[in-house]
Amino acid sequence: MSKKMYIFSNFEFLIAWRYLRSKRAEGGISTMTWISLIGISLSVFALIATLSVRSGFRAELVDTILGANAHVTVYKQPTKDSKGNVYRSFKDYENVNSIISSLNSVSRAAPLIRGQVMASANATTTGVDVFGISPENILSIRRVSDPETSIGNIKNFSKGLAVGSGVAQTLNVSVGDEIKLISPSGVKTAFGASPRVKTFEVQYVFSAGRHDMDKVRIYMPFRIAQEYFDRDNLADEIEVLVNKPDQIEEIVEQLSSATDGKFLFWTWKDASGNYLRALEIEDNVMFVIMSILVLIATMNIISGLVMLVKNKSRDIAILRTIGLSEKSVLRIFFLCGAITGILGTFFGTLLGCVFAVYVDSIFSFINLISGGEVWDPTIRGIYSIPAQLRWEDVLTSVLISIGLTFSITYFPARRAARLDPIEALRYE
Domains of the chain: which residue ranges? 3-63+275-425, 77-262
pLDDT surpassing 70 at residue 375: no
> Are the C-beta atoms of residues 162 and 204 closer than 8 Å to each other?
yes
Mean pLDDT of 364-389: 67
- For residue 308, which amino acid is it? L
Q: Name the more confident of 98 and 59.
A: 98
pLDDT of residue 383: 63
What does the pLDDT look like over 167-210, one tens digit per residue? Answer: 999 999 999 999 999 987 766 655 556 788 899 999 999 988 88
Angle at CA of residue 163, ends 160 and 167, nearest 5°: 135
pLDDT of residue 408: 85
Average per-residue pLDDT in the chain?
83
pLDDT surpassing 50 at residue 302: yes
Mean pLDDT of 280-285: 85
Mean pLDDT of 297-305: 79
What does the pLDDT look like over 254-269, one tens digit per residue? Answer: 999 998 888 899 999 8
Give CB contacts under 8 A, 24+ apart, made by 54-59: 54/283, 54/286, 54/287, 55/387, 55/388, 55/390, 55/393, 56/356, 56/359, 56/385, 56/386, 56/387, 56/388, 57/279, 57/382, 57/385, 57/386, 58/276, 58/279, 58/283, 59/386, 59/388
pLDDT of residue 44: 93
Predicted confidence band of residue 4 (pLDDT cuts 50, 70, 90): very low
pLDDT of residue 81: 61
Predicted confidence band of residue 22 (pLDDT cuts 50, 70, 90): low
Task: State the DSSP H helix or E strand holding residue 65, giving kind and residue range, or none if neither.
Answer: helix 30-68
Q: What is the DSSP string of 119-146?
A: EEETTEEEEEEEEEE-HHHHTT-HHHHS
pLDDT surpassing 70 at residue 425: no
> Are the C-beta atoms of residues 235 and 73 closer than 8 Å to each other?
no
Mean pLDDT of 349-361: 89
pLDDT of residue 299: 82
pLDDT surpassing 90 at residue 381: no
Cα distances from 104 to residues 70, 111, 239, 242, in angstroms, run: 17, 18, 16, 9
DSSP state of 376: -
pLDDT surpassing 50 at residue 5: no
Report CA 405 to chain centroid distance, whole Å. Answer: 29
pLDDT surpassing 80 at residue 65: yes
> Are the C-beta atoms of residues 398 and 349 closer than 8 Å to each other?
yes
Predicted confidence band of residue 27 (pLDDT cuts 50, 70, 90): very low
Q: Is the dihedral of CA 148, 149, 155, 160 positive or negative?
A: negative
Q: Name the more confident of 18 and 141.
A: 141
SS3 of 215, please? coil
Report pTM: 0.75
pLDDT surpassing 60 at residue 25: no
**Cα distance between residue 69 and residue 255, in whole Å:** 18
